[in-house]
Amino acid sequence: MCDWHHEGKACRPAYRLPIEQARGRGREGNRARSSVPGDSCYHDRVDVLLIVDFQRDFCPGGALPVAGCDEVAERLNDLAVRFDFVVATRDWHPPDHGSFAGVVVDPSRWRGSDPPSIWPVHCVAGTPGAELHPTLDQSPIDVVIDKGQDRFSQGYSAFHESGLDELLLERGVDHIYIGGLTTDYCVKKSVLDARRLGFDVTVIEDAIRAVNVQPWDGARALEEMRAAGASFTSAGELARGRAAIV
Ligand SMILES: [Zn+2]
């Protein structure tokens, strides 16, 4: 037990560790070592539940809906109370966002991985469609991160110019459990970025849903995430291992 443990709870380091230390790679796995001289404490894992873009426009009745939102909400709500750090992202686009059909973008300024103008207008900042869907219980959510605000890229990834990386580092997070929408775009891009940044990632496979512009897109996204080193679990399996926090 070190100074950073208290009341029987695991360390929640409030200080910023150097990046390589905070994400302790290699033989030490994902245990972050204290930067306090002479302190031999190894911190327990710090987990976050990352809920991606569970917004009205991505659910039935919205501008770009996927099926099965009710099931996803139920599972995320059950899990959120089992994590002591929960972050939700929102797609939060300007009205003239370059991904929207009908918006003309100077190709020399476009930084998106997909072409511009391919999506219906969705999740415009401040509109009802951009709100978190009401079936998602917001009370366990600690932080809401808005992304996709730059009109010259799609902003699929939760890490894209959002400050999420810095937030997770500040909180000492090393393991991201991820659910939300959509499997083949924002969830996938977030997972790939998280792996690139050195986080452990577990995808909650029955708490995500795909757009499936092509019917195989969701399945292919799962393969890409797996190839990048993401693990997979189900909401039920994850819940069994984590008591609800009261
Ligand atoms: Zn979008």
**pLDDT tens-digit readout, 16-30:** 333 334 333 332 333
pLDDT-derived band at 43, boundaries 50, 70, 90: low
Query: Could you read off the pLDDT of 82-120 as tens digits, one per residue?
Result: 999 999 999 999 999 999 999 999 999 999 889 999 999
Mean pLDDT value of segment 210-230: 97
Rounded to two decimals, the pTM is 0.84
Domain range spanning residue 50? 35-95+123-240
Q: Say whether pLDDT at 42 is over 70.
A: no
Structural domain contains residue 112? no
Per the prediction, the chain carries an average pLDDT of 86
* Count of domains for the chain: 1
Set 184, 186, 193, 200: catalytic member:
186
Give the pLDDT mean for 55-78: 97
29 assigned to some structural domain: no
Segment 151-164 mean pLDDT: 96
User: What is the distance between the alpha carbons of residues 181 and 54, in angstroms, rounded to a whole number?
Assistant: 6
Exactly one of 47, 147, 165, 189 is catalytic; which is it? 147
> Separation of 231 CA from ligand 1 center, angstroms?
25
Output the pLDDT for position 20.
Answer: 38
At residue 31, does pLDDT exceed 70?
no
CATH number of the domain within which 216 lies: 3.40.50.850
pLDDT confidence tier of residue 245, bands split at 50, 70 and 90 = confident
Number of CB atoms found within 10 A of residue 241's CB: 8
pLDDT at 32 over 90: no
Taking 90 as the threshold, does the pLDDT of residue 225 lie above it? yes
Average pLDDT over residues 158-166: 96
Q: What is the pLDDT of residues 134-144, one digit of tens each?
A: 999 999 999 99
**Residue 102 forms part of a structural domain:** no
Catalytic-residue membership of 53 = yes
Within-domain flag for 103: no
196-216 mean pLDDT = 97
User: How many angstroms is it from 21 CA to the middle of ligand 1?
Assistant: 34
CA of 154 to the centre of ligand 1 (A): 6
Asked, for residue 12, whether it belongs to a domain, the answer is no
Show the tokens assigned to 60: 């039935």
- Cα(16) to centroid of ligand 1, in Å? 31
- Determine, yes or no, domain membership for 9: no
169 domain-assigned? yes
Neighbours of ion ligand 1 (CB under 5 A): 91
Residue 149 maps to a domain:
yes
